[in-house]
Amino acid sequence: MESVDYKKELKELYRQSANEVSLVEVPTLHYLMIDGKGDPNTSPEFSAAVETLYPFSYAIRSIVKAEREMKYVVMPLEGLWWADDMEAFDVEKKDEWQWTLLQMQPNVVTEDIVERAREDVSEKKDLPALSEVRYESFDEGLSAQTLHIGPYSEEGPTVERVHEFIEEQDYTRRGAHHEIYLSDMRRTDPEKLKTIIRQPVEE
């Protein structure tokens, strides 16, 4: 049986040093996605999204393993964050944030597999947000990123470092602020959390 670790296959996207900001070219990838608004620290909507995506992704993996004879490591959660006015986007004003929580899926995953996994999960768990999850491709393109280690509440200086790098390289920001949660936010000491901070750019 084939075994794949996509964090290794896509190491330039999911392995990042905290000591530098890097430019990466993000290809079109496929994700489970769910949208929401408000402070992730206090929003029941955000908690429900987290608790929905994990079992959904594991159900998809079970189908792929059985039917495609392929094992893979379930990917970490990721988040896209933005405000109506991105020029005024402030990491401190979380109540004003809009977000999409997402989880990357292998290319072998089809819409049919996703819908069968949704049905499997609905029979086992009562997840109110399950019907709101969609399966879409996302083409992020050229982006700058670095690694933040520590609480999410202390990301501000790391985000600023990415923005400064973008300006120094004569790029401009575009699209949503992107975070990749390499640590399980439900089980990790805040001081040890590892989060990739990514920002798409253009010339």
% of the chain residues with pLDDT over 90: 80
Domain segments of the chain: what residues? 2-202
Residues with Cβ < 8 Å from 159, sequence gap 6 or more? 91, 177, 197
The dihedral region occupied by 139, where left means phi > 0, alpha psi between -120 and 50, and beta the remainder, is beta
Q: Which pair of tokens denotes residue 164?
A: 């400064």
Span 4-16, pLDDT tens digits = 999 999 999 999 9
Residues in the chain, total: 203
* Dihedral angle sign, alpha carbons of residues 183, 189, 194, 195: positive
Residue 82 banded pLDDT, cuts 50, 70, 90: confident
Q: Over the stretch 140-191, which tens digit does the pLDDT of each residue have?
A: 999 999 999 999 889 999 999 999 999 999 999 999 999 999 998 778 899 9
Superfamily of domain 2-202: Regulatory factor, effector binding domain (3.20.80.10)
- C-alpha 174/C-alpha 158 separation (Å) is 18
